A and B are shown apart, each in its own frame.
Chain A
């Protein structure tokens, strides 16, 4: 209980679901052999951290930010460029991470102080504009960032696939650097998730929720709204930066498509809303569902498209084209906003639990 900060998943169904996902991720290298499955698992871990940190802002504080992926990118580029430019050492990794944290913090403070004083809707627009400019900047400053091509780099030796730390395989899995890298990603993501859980269940987190529910009342009670909102922005930005660093470390590559593109921001929004806003477990469910859907919904849709094409139905083959999978997730997203504002987590909650209206 102390590990979960006294806030375990509510309801039997949710507990089972979350436990299954966490177990699957914990044992992924052994349960699902193959490079693709391991990549999917690592991506899920990174996304869980990214989505959870976003939920601190969106679900707990009620602020819509479109710059979350920018912080993710800062983390990815920070680590990536340090490893690329200096050396494939732990020192360079640490330096890159620290620089990324400082830059993220500065950006979050600047954006927060600049725009959180007024309506939160203003914040949404300003973050969108800043994130867009940052994205363009990263792809144009090609001397530094590698432009559209990005940068491939080496990571510290013991994390490389070629590094063997045991001669014989463990339970049929090669004991190489890839396995270590996966567990590094998993452990760091899990630890950061628990820290975020601690934050939202602290008195500070309660104030954030109070601000979300009724800013005027929270202010009347003596809480400085701008301070709390800005601090929440900073915490969430640091979480995203760490997720970005993990992502770069896993991919051994950093570029605009994997670290900064606006479609990642949209994905994160979908994951938070479908999983469940205002509960960090929603991040686990949402991210896992999304990554699985990304991999397997497309297969299903491909099959449906073929069926529709064989039956000579108009339009349907186009709508079921595997590339249109985001269409169906978009529909699920809108339906979730209308009918299940608390997402899957809210739907799985036991009936006596009080629903929290979002918005």
Chain B
């Protein structure tokens, strides 16, 4: 808790710059080692796109944890579900996806990610009511219940979509790369970065400029006080949980397109990454998870290029280093 004096106008909360600059610092340090400028641009662009997709998945998780102290191990199931829902849109609309029209291509892409978000949001409500609600405030049982929920969800997905990988390719005009000089940047990565930025901007606007956002931020800082002021925090929380699930689905759909295939194991894989990101970012902080997503993705990309073996554990190393520097993450949330 920061000490603020009474009487005088509240000072604007200072936002520390240094943690936000860490991705830039990493990029600057990595640049001389990478050598060629075109490779560096390609790597950095790929890292940004990956970071945006990870952020889309992780921001919901961090808000849910920040507000209600719920660590949702079922989050990965929504990531996988979003990916599967995308196939439901893409496979029937294969004609749109294969056409040369940019408008139709973009339409099918937007339709797929919106459908993924909506379905995951709706099922997020079911998940919250059935799995999470009975065990609020009990960490151990919460972890167990959400893991059980994710086992069931994963098995149901296998039952509906089968155990095999489903191929999924990006629409025709989104394939290929923009080429600047010698640097090639995949078009889809640019699109993913844009979607991620829109999500981030939207979240920041809602959190900082609306009443709902004010209540959510207040809830993260001090849940009981918000309740004492007469707001139904449980309803607020269902909303945040659904939004978090929807974002997970959106991120999952984008990642599945990026990968070119869908399988339920995508959930567990990115859940781990999401945890690393929200720990680095500071549990409960959306801005922190934004910075951390980019940081983690950039480090993974540079390490993958410079020392492939090291890349496997680069996430963990990044987490350890950040926590040694700032034990509660880049942007710690007070009261936590």
Contact = CB atoms under 8 A, between A and B. Distances in A.
Contact of A266 (B145, B147, B163, B327): B147
Contact of B279 (A126, A132, A321): A126
B191 interface: no
Is chain B's interface secondary structure helix, strand, loop, or mixed overall?
Answer: helix
A179 to B, nearest CB: 37
A133 B315 contact: yes
A257 to B, nearest CB: 13
Contacts of A358: 140-141
Given A129-B276, A318-B159, A358-B140, A334 B148 contact: yes
Interface stretch (A117-125, A146-154, A238-246): A117-125
Contacts of B272: 128-129, 132
Interface in B58-85: 71
Contacts of B327: 118
B152 interface: yes
B225 interface: no
Interface in A101-148: 114, 118-122, 124-126, 128-130, 132-133, 136-137, 140-141
Contacts of A140: 309, 312
Contacts of A319: 159
Contacts of B140: 58, 62, 64, 120, 358-359
B163 A323 contact: yes
A327 B159 contact: yes
Interface stretch (B29-37, B46-54, B131-139): B131-139
A273 interface: yes
A137 B309 CA distance: 8
Interface in A251-292: 262, 266, 269-270, 273
Interface in B124-183: 131, 134-135, 138-145, 147-149, 151-152, 155-156, 158-160, 163
A301 to B, nearest CB: 12
B312 A136 contact: yes
A110 to B, nearest CB: 10
A122 B131 contact: no
B234 to A, nearest CB: 19
Given A129-B319, A262-B268, A137 B312 contact: yes
Contacts of A18: none
A333 B268 contact: no
B275 A338 contact: no
Contact of A338 (B135, B276, B309, B320): B135
Interface string A302-331: 000000000000010011010110110111
A80 interface: no
B145 A326 contact: no
Given A120-B139, A136-B312, A137-B312, A334 B145 contact: yes
Interface of A: 58, 62, 64, 114, 118-122, 124-126, 128-130, 132-133, 136-137, 140-141, 262, 266, 269-270, 273, 315, 318-319, 321, 323-324, 326-327, 329-331, 333-334, 337-338, 341, 358-359
Nearest first, the 6 closest Cβ-Cβ pairs linking A and B are: A327-B155, A330-B151, A334-B148, A359-B140, A359-B138, A359-B141
